[in-house]
Amino acid sequence: MFKPSKFVLLAIWIVMVTAIAIPGAAQQVAPQTAQQVAPQTAQPQTAQEEKGKGLKANKPARDRSQSQSSPTPLPVDAPKRSEVDEAVRRGKEFLLSIQNKNGSWGAATNTKDLNIYAPVPGAHHAFRSAVTAMCVSALIDLQVEDTEVSSAIDRGETWLLEHLKSLRRANQDALYNVWGHAYGIEALVRLHCRHASNPEQQGRLMEEIVHQIELLGRYESVHGGWGYYDFSYHLQKPTSQPNSFTTATVLFAFYQAQQIGAVVPQRLIDRGLDVIRRQQRPDLAYLYSEDFRTNPSSDINKPGGSVGRSQACNVVLRMYKDPSVSDEAMVAWTNRLFSRNLWLDIGRKRPIPHESWFLVAGYFFYYGHYYAAYGIEHIPAAQQTPARQQLLHVMLKLQEKDGSWWDYPLYDYHRPYGTAFALMAIKRCETAAE
């Protein structure tokens, strides 16, 4: 007859205790989880809603109260107009001094021990296209009557019209070309306005704008929106997880193109807006990318990690009349950019992406301030001047000795793109200087 050992008896005892304990444990955990989720949602407010005749009782409205409150930034003295003009002059001189002979900006030089994934040569075609477009845009925004500036813009325009048309993704994994198409459209729109007295050149520029829109349609993710990596299935149509901010960057460029009459397929806009909405948290922080939807509370998705992304996403939703971003929310996130500027600044100039607090990468710094300069135009008029003074205060104190601005070491692209972002943001806010 089989006689169980003491180890078998112990195992049977553990199984029996576990079977009894687990249901009880589940009953204890469930209320705690509900309490954690509850602050992020709002319960139905009326009897009508309770009956399901408005918001369904099992689908509570999202609580936006967190998005409409933020710490107030400390006041700053209004920058003097002479200081702003001098910073712009130095930034302009820097861009002129580093333009390549062929009219472009940036190069695949100045490497470091740890570089981001950039398969050659396609990744660098994308980087150079985006950076050249940004520098052309910045010089146009300066609105100066200067022969040297005009010549630099003309040479940049020639380079863009020659190279943007052949820009494609580097390989199956890297879709950095999306940045080149988006910022290329912004530059082409500015050039189109610059050639107001030259319909023939405007026609060439519009043709290329339409082509860039078509390419962005080709490289749209199957999920909608745009990402810059595709490590999934390597299909002809990218299966990338779209990024909230990359999608916002593209939609921002689309909006600029529409202002001069370019036709953008509504399907691309609608699917892109859906991506941003899906990645929008109740507090208007935005997920880094679609795959974070199962982990929205990770550090990179919290307000401290999203403060750069939220500027682009919020202003794009406002441009397309999305009701989820109120005036109060725009004010709150503008204030958060300046009152919590240190979260972005700690990541500035770090050589490794996402090594800082809240996993902030350095390249979000000037990116966030560029879109904030546009977002300020969407807050109440009485609050715009103080906000612009805050932005000018940040930009002026960070200008380098050589006249540049930069936030993340990226081959030889970082100083041109940082300077371009800073100059465009400053010009957008310079009216607040005294």
Mapped to the 3 state alphabet, what secondary structure does 346-376 carry? HHCCCCCCCCCHHHCCHHHHHHHHHHHHHHH
Take residue 417 and report the two structure tokens written for it: 């793109």
Please tell me the distance from the alpha carbon of residue 273 to that of residue 67, in angstroms, as a whole number.
19
Query: Which whole-number Å values give the CA distances from 6 to 92, 154, 219, 223, 233, in the listed order?
Result: 83, 88, 65, 57, 52
Instruction: State which H helix or E strand residue 47 sits in.
Output: helix 47-50
CA separation, residue 238 to residues 106, 129, 212, 293, 395 (Å): 27, 21, 17, 19, 37
Question: How far, in Å, are 136, 201, 204 from residue 157 at the CA level?
Answer: 7, 11, 11
List the one residue out of 402, 401, 398, 389 whose CA is nearest residue 81: 389
Distances (CA, A) of 112 to 109, 116, 264, 359: 9, 10, 40, 21
Domain ranges within the chain, ordered by starting residue? 103-278
Per-residue pLDDT of the chain (434 residues; tens, 9 = 90+): 444 454 444 444 444 434 433 333 333 333 332 223 233 333 333 333 333 333 333 334 455 555 666 789 999 999 999 999 999 999 999 999 999 999 999 999 988 878 899 999 999 999 999 999 999 999 999 999 899 999 999 999 999 999 999 999 999 999 999 999 999 999 999 999 999 999 999 999 999 999 999 999 999 999 999 999 999 998 999 999 999 999 999 999 999 999 999 999 999 999 999 999 999 999 999 999 999 999 999 999 999 999 999 999 999 999 999 999 999 999 999 999 999 999 999 999 999 999 999 999 999 999 999 999 999 999 999 999 999 999 999 999 999 999 999 999 999 999 999 999 999 999 999 999 99
CB of 350 within 8 A of CB of 408? yes
HSE-up of 118 (CA within 13 Å, CB side)? 18
Mean predicted lDDT score pLDDT of the chain = 88
Q: Characterise 411 by phi-psi region: left (phi > 0), alpha (psi -120 to 50), beta (else).
A: left
Q: What is the DSSP letter of 195?
A: T
Q: Angle between the 414-429 and 81-98 helix axes, to the nearest 10 degrees?
A: 150
How far lies 195's CA from each of 189, 202, 205, in Å? 10, 6, 9
146: tokens are: 């200067």
DSSP calls for 58-115: TSPEE--GGGG--PPPPP-PPPPHHHHHHHHHHHHHHHHHH--TTS----S-S--SS-
Q: For residue range 285-315, list pLDDT tens digits in order.
A: 999 999 999 999 999 999 999 999 999 999 9
Q: Around 332, how many Cα atoms within 13 Å sit in the side-chain half-sphere?
A: 18
Which DSSP helix (H) or strand (E) runs through 42? strand 41-42
Instruction: Please state, in angstroms and rounded to a whole number, the distance separating the CA atoms of residues 51 and 214.
Output: 47
How many other β-carbons are positioned within 10 Å of the β-carbon of residue 91? 27
